[in-house]
Chains A and B, each alone.
Chain A
Amino acid sequence: MNFRDSGYALTYLGLAGIVFVTILGLEYAPGLKPCTGGGCWGAPEAYRILYLHVPFAWCSFLSFSVLFYGSLMWYLKRSEDAWVYFQSGSDLGVIFGLGVITSGPIWASAEWGRPWDWGDMRLNSFALLTAVALFLVYSRQSQPDTQQNRDTLSAVGLFGFALVPITAGATTWWETTHPEVLIVESSETLGMSPDIRSFLLISFGLMCILFTGLLLLSNKRYRLAAKVSGRKNELDQEAVS
Chain B
Amino acid sequence: MSGITEAYIAYAIMLGLVIWFSRDVLTSISFLEMELESLSDEQPMSTEDE
Q: How many residues of A contact B (CB 8 A)?
A: 46
Contact residues of A: prevailing secondary structure? helix
In the complex, the answer to whether A231 meets B36 with C-beta atoms within 8 Å is yes
In the complex, the answer to whether A235 meets B42 with C-beta atoms within 8 Å is yes
Contact residues of B: prevailing secondary structure? helix
Closest residue on chain B to residue A99 by CB atoms: B14
Q: Is A22 an interface residue (CB 8 A)?
A: yes
In the complex, the answer to whether A239 meets B14 with C-beta atoms within 8 Å is no
Q: How many pairs of residues, A versus B, come closer than 8 Å at their CB atoms? A: 115
The stretch that binds B, out of A45-53, A155-163, A169-177, A179-187, is: A45-53
Q: Give the CA-CA distance A224 to B39 in the complex, in Å.
A: 12
- Residue from B15, B18, B29, B35 in contact with A217 in the complex, judged by beta carbons closer than 8 Å: B29
Nearest Cβ in chain B — how far from A17, in angstroms?
A: 11
Q: Which of chain B's residues 3-17 have a Cβ closer than 8 Å to chain A?
A: 3-4, 6-11, 13-15, 17
- Residue from B3, B11, B19 in contact with A25 in the complex, judged by beta carbons closer than 8 Å: B11
In the complex, the answer to whether A46 meets B28 with C-beta atoms within 8 Å is no
Q: Given A228-B35, A231-B40, verify A45-B14 contact (CB < 8 Å).
A: no
The 7 A-B residue pairs with the shortest CB-CB distance, nearest first, are: A46-B3, A43-B3, A238-B44, A45-B2, A110-B3, A103-B10, A224-B32
